[in-house]
Amino acid sequence: MRVAAVGVNGFRLPSISHLLPGCAVLKDPRKYLEDLLARSRESPASDALNTLFQATGISLEDLGEHYAKDLKAFVGVFRDVLEWAYLVWVVERVLVKDYRKYLFVKDGRLAQMGVKDEFRTKLQKYFKEKNLLLVGVSKRSRLLAEGLTSLVMAKLFAEVRGTFLLQVPEALMEKAYRYERQWDADFQGAFVMGTRCVARLFENTFSPREGIAILDLPPHLNEKDAIRVAKSLKSHRSVLYKGSLGPIVEAHGKASVAKPLATSMEDEVLARLRESFGEEFARKIAEWLRLAEREVGRG
């Protein structure tokens, strides 16, 4: 698993890579996290997570219990939390006081699922105290992709000329998103942490969507901040990336979950069998797994 960021004008940040041992996670997810946090000097991921916890007051208890459900749930929550930890680590350890000079752009919504409300509350409080210039940029949105809301947005773009930034009306959000917790950051139990906005950064493009950006802005940012964010995004948006932000596309390419969960687990189990029972035994097990996978595919 790798978390990365890409700056502009030659500015670069180090990425964080972390190998998740599937067997150790499955055996006791909570203990794995506790052991990881205790190895701050050995692991960049541990250092970032410890920085997150110390700077925000977030604790393991605030992660809730969903991450312990299975390996897929663990990886999903861990990856998202590690992204937040990376952001806080960059602010606290890399940029320090200079962080005020930068706009931080998150790939995707400002949201966090699978954790307790306390996690989001403490993270939002940290962003507000730091007055962090932060935005989440979504590549896709129900506002533009589904039924009535897409027609309303298309009509708006056709009738209003020039570039603009607006907060999406609540009535339209209700049409696009069935559950309030998906779009209302003030709703109890919501997993979103920002206000949904839409911006047209370019008017004349090959495809209408190439000029449109769906943004999440944290509640502490005011109208002046929002305009600063939009102007900065416009300066780095390009039709070469189908209207997306070049730095986001580059960062997305550098960050990854290296292998599918099943493949990663299979490799780890086979390595342990090879160590305990020899190469021939591990080879036979691998053959049986391939045959079983083939039969499941036929079924």
Closest CA to 127 of 98, 167, 92: 92
- pLDDT over 70, % of the chain: 78
Calculate the CA 17 to chain-centre distance.
15
pLDDT of 242 > 50? The answer is: no
- Chain centroid to CA 79: how far? 8
Burial state string for 241-259 with b = 16 or more CB within 10 A and e = fewer than 16: eebbbebbbebbeebeeee
CA angle 294, 297, 299 (to 5 degrees): 110
Element (H, E) at 164: strand 164-167
- The pLDDT of 258-274, averaged and rounded, is 64
d(CA 163, CA 201): 5
pTM: 0.78
For the chain, domain boundaries: 2-254, 261-298
Contacts of 153 (CB under 8 A, 6+ apart): 143, 144, 198
Rounded to an integer, the average pLDDT of 264-278 is: 72
- H/E run at residue 138: strand 134-138
pLDDT in tens, 93-117: 988 888 888 888 888 888 898 999 9
Q: Which amino acid is at 284?
A: K
Query: Tokens representing 125?
Result: 């409080």
Of 128, 126, 114, 133, which is closest to residue 54 (Cα–Cα)? 126
More confident residue, 59 or 280: 59
pLDDT digits (tens, 9 = 90+) for 126-148: 999 999 999 998 877 777 776 77
Q: Distance between CA 111 and CA 164 in Å, rounded? A: 24
CA–CA dist 245, 247 (Å, integer): 6
Residue 33 has pLDDT above 80, yes or no: yes
